Structure 1
């Protein structure tokens, strides 16, 4: 049930950042009330920093509204401004903007320091491990002290902390204790609403076991929060989760009405793995939130703060390609964006049906479409490992027609409410028979998977053949260089006694001619294309080997011939080998960083991983002299060396996990810059 916030307002409400009266916005994850001017800065930071919502035009779930009201009543703003309340600090460090101060730069700089850099938050003790904060949070969520939980979260407590002794997460405890406001706070900070405790119960089931049916229904809504937001934005309707109907699937496009570009786009969408599909749903969810907030913003804000947010702000926790893709969503027109939402919802239903057919074979979460908060947590994890992101291109997708779904059960109108194939409150065996997936579609997917596996194996074999050819050419270049030196050493100028007289020519003429010939012979060949029998024959054999590789397409063969021909010069071969060595050793550094991060997250010993990083970094630095001719390259090498020492120090001194993470990130960044800037001379 949704209620209007305007009907439940306190008599005394001020902006948490500048103390202006009558605030009209709220930051959900911060638990603060904001005026329009301060809210404009919050919007520019992004939803991952501050998730704002209108107090006057937005519809609020009752438990979410109660959470914000409780945090305001408990003066949670003192957590974000702790150092400002310290009377022992200098006055210039305790200055807070007033409502009459200009938005830029006074208010904006203060808000960025307060919320983005967390300059005024009460820091946790250095000797207090993150696991201790998690244990305190696990214990505090069973009470109504929201300010205590907010303080722990602000200090770095994990909302998904799992207590080994209790066999449960924080959200399980809050649901079993019947604390809806605590549950809303945990979800706002990224708690997983689909996680199971040691007994196999989800948070919704824990609430039902505790007799809190209303809270259980709310948690079920949060499970489908991402798709619910998409459905409401597209159709203005909400699924009936209490009745077991979790999706409203719009009618799919008819095949004959779709363009070739639309068909290719749908085919790529259906080929996405589940984790990439979940990231796409999360990005679309953020874009919907931006568009809806922007619509409210343009009708309510006035003056300087009226400037909107044209696209999703950059999230440093995500990769650069993903941030670019998120911003490109704003370029879609309303019809284009609606088409994307319709295709995503149709494919989400298809994936849900496939998951219901193989519930025990799924290694991921029980629901491929998770809540928006959990998808946010998953997105951060997927970008942490690996540290270097691979960007997919159109060549990574085969020319595959979109999979046609059986839409005969759908109403020919705009859409029809269908029942989800999985109900979290019922056993898997009780799923609806209407969710049965046609066997032909599964067989098609299997055939496509087998076809791609065979293509990968064939490309691997071709790569091995090409590598052997490059090695053969390298050896030939070495032999040519040795033979050229030997030829120079045995050539000498003939003496006068060695020249025999010829008829019609004087001895002096014959001697001059011989000396000219000797000079021509004493010159080394300027390239491998000099008329020497050995290289010429070997090149013909190599060309025959390249063109005779089975299954190699014409375009790939032509490109390979051109690449090998350009490498025939010995200097080019040396340059290529040096670049490959740098890349190989840089990849070794990256693997060592990934092993270090895995060990840090699992609380294993870090000094051993530090030795691996030191060894891999030293091997990479050994390729470069102490003083490089290129100043920019020398700067990058120095940064890499300093970053390696920083990681080693952080691991050996048992620094906090945040320090280890920062040091590892700096090392990965320096390694990537070195590979990018290295240009062999």
Structure 2
């Protein structure tokens, strides 16, 4: 809507300028003060949404704007337009009037009592009048005249009226004619997109056959409006109906960004009993409960928008708060009491109830079969509006949860559910066997690597002089921490003197103490095996079996394999390489501890230490090694360190959401593994070549 058009808009109830709210079913725009009164009327009288802060289907917003622009407000203020109304004392509210009682009394009279709506001449048989109005509605929806249809609906026309001669409903006619806005209006007043005509076709079928694909897709969304709204409330997502996805059942841990703090699913005995009672409800009872929960979701979401858009010093008072669902006079006192008790549910309890309703709604629509969903045109049994002729069966949320008599239908439902559960259990058992076999193979490989590395690490060359490193000297070292490549309960020491080594750039390198933790042999492979424990701590990651990656090598960090000059076959001494490997190992252990403890602020300092140790280790080798294995290992070592530093900078420079930090942590761990793998390869190659 353009700013120039918006500037001419006024509140339909008091004429205040620039209204920011809309009453969807009344087709009017209202100001903040009048909206506070509308919210207290309940959704059965007025369904309010903020024009900019609420989530709108585009065609529904267009429908409201069209009604407002075409004078829909005159339907609700018909008698006030009569000049004689001022003589009788009837007048419209104005912006200067007090909210209570002036505006409140006027709005209640206007929308609850319909005091100013044009009345039809009185007849003895009201059912004949409603039937005539519904037939007029049936004919009017094929045109674009929305206000005429709204006037007929306000007078008592039925949106789901089944025309006895034509054998269909008004929504069938609107769908066939491609009248998107008429379909939106009818849906607001309870029209069922899944209603069948005399030929067994739905309005969705009519729209598709007439080539109105966009309207057909919107009707599918309207058909699933109830469950879509509940899903969006929990996780901020909607199913992709175009691709056949009609339900999303959120998990509690995935709702933390919508509901705070993070919750786990309520598995108490009371919750289990309540879920069992929910499944035993008849379709009519379940439909009523789902509609009540839908209204409570709308109340909570509207509350959030209201508090976010108001001037708290003037408007947010006790008189503008809607603490629970208003009474609907069409419902029994028992149902109204149950609806109001929904407001007492904590966020945790309410989310559990919503998830249970979504789960059971999906089960009921699929006919209690979890094998495959029905087609996209199969209709849910909980979206339709309950008929007034149906026997009223009350649902008391706080009622006794004892089991009632089991019918044949319920027995078959339970039997089908058990069959599906058994199939799921068998599938999980197969997956478990596969994972167990994979774990056994990894354990065998781990034992082999432990034996190989222990042999390589402590193998002393006899009768040979160790070649010196590229700097022509061996930096002295002292004791060291056990490496991730070893096993055993006690650390071992090199038979060298304990000194402090000074690097050429002046950085003092302290000898590694012997009391560094020795409880993490083969640390990275252990992490792979304990993936579940990390997931429980909120750090999720996965490794491929081959651990092969094809990242581009940054030019600044790459080993200079393209430099001119002859290849150099000289390799540093094994002890130098082992010393630098131990330094890298120590820093990687520190980084992984930070990841396990979710100390993401420690990522960058740890990565800088690792990068420095990697640079020092790479400096031990010639710039152009003749060994292809050494070149490849150095390339993997430096490029992985570069990627590690980049990923750690992401965690430090931004404030990512939990899903993003989880992805960063996964990349950090993968880079750390690649660094350790490259270091191990260099140790192995160096030891082998020097021994030869």
Normalising by the residue count of structure 1, what TM-score does the alignment of the two structures yield?
Answer: 0.54
Q: Tell me the matched-pair count.
A: 394
SS in structure 1 at match of 2:109: helix
Match of 1:271 in 2: 280
2:296 aligned to 264, 287, 298, which one? 287
Partner of 2:379: 367
2:25 counterpart (3, 26, 29)? 29
2:331 to 301, 305, 318: 318
- 2:350 pairs, out of 319, 324, 337, with 337
Secondary structure class of the residue paired with 2:157:
coil
Equivalent residues of 2:160, 2:191 under 8 A apart: yes
- Which of the two has greater helix per residue? 1
Distance 1:35-1:390 versus aligned 2 partners, 3 A rule:
closer
Superposed displacement of residue 9, structure 1: 5.9
The separation in 2 between residues aligned to 1:316 and 1:16, in whole angstroms, is 25
- Residue 347 (structure 1) aligns with: 360
Residue equivalent to 2:386: 378
Alpha-carbon distance, 1:62 to partner: 1.4
In 1, distance between residues paired with 2:340 and 2:8? 38
Question: What is the CA–CA distance in structure 2 between the aligned matches of 1:258 and 1:290, rounded to whole Å?
Answer: 27
State whether structure 2 residue 410 is matched by structure 1 residue 397: no
Change (3 A) 1:8 1:236: farther
SS of equivalent residue, structure 1 residue 204: helix
Map 1:596-635 to 2 at 5 A. Answer: none
Please give the alpha-carbon distance, in whole angstroms, between the structure 2 residues aligned to 1:255 and 1:283. 24
Pick closer, same or farther for the CA change 1:247–1:116 going to 2, 3 Å: same
State how far apart, in whole Å, the 1-side matches of 2:86 and 2:217 are.
50
Asked whether the 8 Å contact 1:26–1:32 carries over to 2, the reply is yes
Q: Deviations over 1:212-257 (max 9, x none)?
A: 0000000000111111011111111110000000011234899998
Structure 2 match to 1:423: none
Kept after mapping to 2: 8 A contact 1:14/1:21: yes
CA contact (8 A) 1:25 1:55 kept: yes
Report the alpha carbon displacement of residue 147 of structure 1 after superposing the two structures with TM: 0.8
Please give the residue correspondences for 1:230-309 in structure 2 after superposition, counting only pairs within 5 Å: 230-251=230-251, 258-302=267-311, 303-304=314-315, 306=317, 307-309=320-322
CA contact (8 A) 2:230 2:354 kept: yes
> Considering only CA atoms, is the larger Rg found in Structure 1 or Structure 2?
2
- Offset of 1:316 from its aligned partner? 0.8
User: Is the CA contact 2:75–2:151 (under 8 Å) kept in the aligned structure 1?
Assistant: yes
> Structure 2: how far apart are the matches of 1:215 and 1:77?
27
Looking at structure 2, the residues matched to 439 and 7 of structure 1 have their Cα atoms a distance apart, in angstroms, of 59
Residues 95-136 of structure 1: CA deviation (Å, up to 9, x unaligned):
111111111111111111111100000011224721111111
Given that 1:317 and 1:380 are in contact with CA atoms closer than 8 Å, whether structure 2 keeps it comes out as no
Q: Counterpart of 1:162 in 2: which secondary structure?
A: coil
Does 2:126 correspond to 1:114?
Answer: no
Change (3 A) 1:286 1:381: farther
Shift of 1:289: 0.4
CA 1:105/1:368 → structure 2, altered by over 3 Å: closer, same or farther? same
Partner residue in 2 for 1:192: 192
Q: Distance in 2 between matches of 1:60 and 1:75?
A: 22
Q: For 1:369 and 1:389, locate their aligned partners in 2 and report how far apart those are by CA, in whole Å.
A: 17
Q: 1:84 to 1:256 in 2, by over 3 A?
A: closer
| CA 323–184 in structure 1, closer or farther in 2 if over 3 Å, else same | same
Give CA-to-partner distance per residue, 1:437-480, whole Å, 9 cap, x none.
5563699xxxxxxxxxxxxxxxxxxxxxxxxxxxxxxxxxxxxx
**Segment of structure 1 superposing worse, 320-329 or 257-266:** 257-266
Partner of 1:69: 65
| Match status 1:12 vs 2:8 | yes
Name the SS for the 2:118 alignment partner: coil
Aligned counterparts of 1:132 and 1:37: Cα–Cα separation in 2: 38
Q: 2:419 aligns with which of 418, 437, 440?
A: 440
Distance change >3 Å, CA 233–CA 318, structure 1 → 2: same
**Residue 71 of structure 1 contacts residue 147 of structure 1 at CA under 8 Å; is this kept in 2?**
yes
Structure 2: runs of 5+ lacking an equivalent: 254-262, 407-414, 423-692
Flag the 1:272–1:26 CA change in 2: closer, same or farther, 3 A: same
Go from structure 1 to structure 2 and tell me whether the alpha carbon gap of 1:343 and 1:98 turns closer, same or farther (over 3 Å shift).
same
Give the 3-state SS of the residue equivalent to 1:174 in structure 2. Answer: helix
Task: Confirm or deny: 8 A CA contact 1:194 1:370 kept in the other structure.
Answer: no
Change (3 A) 1:251 1:78: closer
**1:47–1:120 CA distance, 2 compared to 1 (3 A):** same
Where 1:129 maps in the other structure, the secondary structure is helix
CA contact (8 A) 1:54 1:296 kept: yes
- Which secondary structure state, in structure 2, belongs to the residue aligned with residue 163 of structure 1? coil
Query: How many angstroms apart in 2 are the aligned matches of 1:257 and 1:317?
Result: 33
Deviation at 1:305, TM superposition (A): 5.6
Q: Report the 3-state secondary structure (helix = DSSP H, G, I; strand = E; otherwise coil) of the residue aligned with 1:33.
A: strand
Equivalent position of 2:148 in the other structure:
148
Name the SS for the 2:22 alignment partner: strand
Q: Distance in 2 between matches of 1:246 and 1:88?
A: 54
Q: Which has the higher contact order (CA 8 A, sep 6+)?
A: 1
**Contact preservation (8 Å) 1:175, 1:206:** yes
Change (3 A) 1:442 1:121: farther
State the Cα RMSD in Å: 3.2
What is aligned with 1:139? 139
In structure 1, C-alpha distance between the alignment counterparts of 2:163 and 2:171, rounded to whole Å: 11
1: CA distance, partners of 2:129 / 2:164:
16
CA offsets, 1:57-111, max 9 Å, x none?
Answer: 1121111011111101110111111100112345243311111111111111111
CA contact (8 A) 1:80 1:120 kept: yes
